[in-house]
Amino acid sequence: MRTTRRDFLKLGGACGLVFLVFPAVKGLAAGERQEGVEGLVRKLAMTGQEGSSSAPSRAGTRKSKWGLLVDMEKCWSREGCLECILACRREHNIPDIPTPKEEIKWIWKEPFANVFPEQEHEYWPEALPEKPVVILCNHCDNPACVRVCPTKATYKRADGIVMMDYHRCIGCRYCMAACPYGARSFNFRDPRPFIKETNPSFPTREKGVVEKCNLCVERIDAGLKPACVEACPAGALIFGNLEDPNSKIREKLRSFLTIQRKSELGTRPKVYYALP
């Protein structure tokens, strides 16, 4: 077929453009598919969307909205207890990296004054600033991390859990910059040599991806409670459906005064701390 170089380039360019535009259209279409008009409104409100369906269990149900309540009095009744942290580590193959520079932690303890710095004043009880508080990903309702992820590798399920897709993550660490709580860790190196005991029913991660607490989504989907909640010997961690007014967590939220971390930032966290 006789054609000029110019015409060939024109056709080639047009094909190339289609090749680029097609996945964009597909991506946008997939994002809208699940939620229609509501999805459009939410898109305008800048919250991250659920994206395409390539990752497992992206659905969840609208009827549940999972939350966690930390009863600090019960937690403080057992000094030096690390059961929730150890359970999480065992369950999710979290590597035990000795340097704080590169450590991976999904749930851990921090002093009260570091967790609630804006509450601190001179006349607190003397012991309070150092009292350990268990912190983890807040699975915010308005998560900044989801908003900034360029590939939707981190996304919010309908039941409110903020998930990670380790296969899609490009390791840009924008989510780590966005998270106001320091809840996320990055795999600076291959984590496998640092895993003490591998749990074969949960994946291990690779170097170069970000990870964080997933609220034991694999256990929740099987009707179980998160590992930390189950492991707590004091029953200080209460997990439940915030949408159900009769759930234990809602009961506790009615009876205790609860505070949240950095509530002024508009992230609407779903981890509540019940003060003693």
Q: Quick check: 12 binds other proteins (CB under 8 A)?
A: no
Which residues sit opposite 84 in a β-bridge?
none
- What distance in Å separates the CA atoms of residue 254 and residue 245, rounded to the nearest whole number? 10
Q: Quick check: 151 binds other proteins (CB under 8 A)?
A: yes
> For other proteins, which residue of 182, 203, 233, 235 counts as binding (CB under 8 A)?
182
Q: Quick check: 150 binds other proteins (CB under 8 A)?
A: yes
Span between the terminal Cα atoms of the chain, in Å: 83
Residues in the chain: 276
91 CB contacts (<8 Å, ≥6 apart)?
A: 199, 202, 216, 219, 227
Q: Quick check: 177 binds other proteins (CB under 8 A)?
A: yes
Q: Quick check: 82 binds other proteins (CB under 8 A)?
A: no
Q: Quick check: 180 binds other proteins (CB under 8 A)?
A: yes
Q: Quick check: 269 binds other proteins (CB under 8 A)?
A: no
Is residue 94 within 8 Å of residue 184, measured between CB atoms?
no
Q: Which is it for strands 107-111 and 132-136: parallel, antiparallel or unpaired?
A: antiparallel
Q: Please, what is the minimum distance in Å from the beta carbon of residue 58 to other proteins?
A: 13
Q: Decide: helix, strand or coil at residue 91.
A: helix
Is residue 109 within 8 Å of residue 135, measured between CB atoms?
yes
Distances (CA, A) of 202 to 12, 92, 273: 45, 6, 29
From 49-57, 63-71, 220-228, 247-255, span contacting other proteins (CB under 8 A): 49-57
Q: Quick check: 224 binds other proteins (CB under 8 A)?
A: no
Q: Quick check: 10 binds other proteins (CB under 8 A)?
A: no
Cβ closest to other proteins, residue 41 vs residue 224: 41
Residues that bind other proteins (CB under 8 A): 20, 23-24, 27-28, 43, 46-49, 51-52, 100-103, 110, 113-115, 117-118, 144, 147-153, 168-174, 176-182, 185-190, 206-210, 262, 265-267
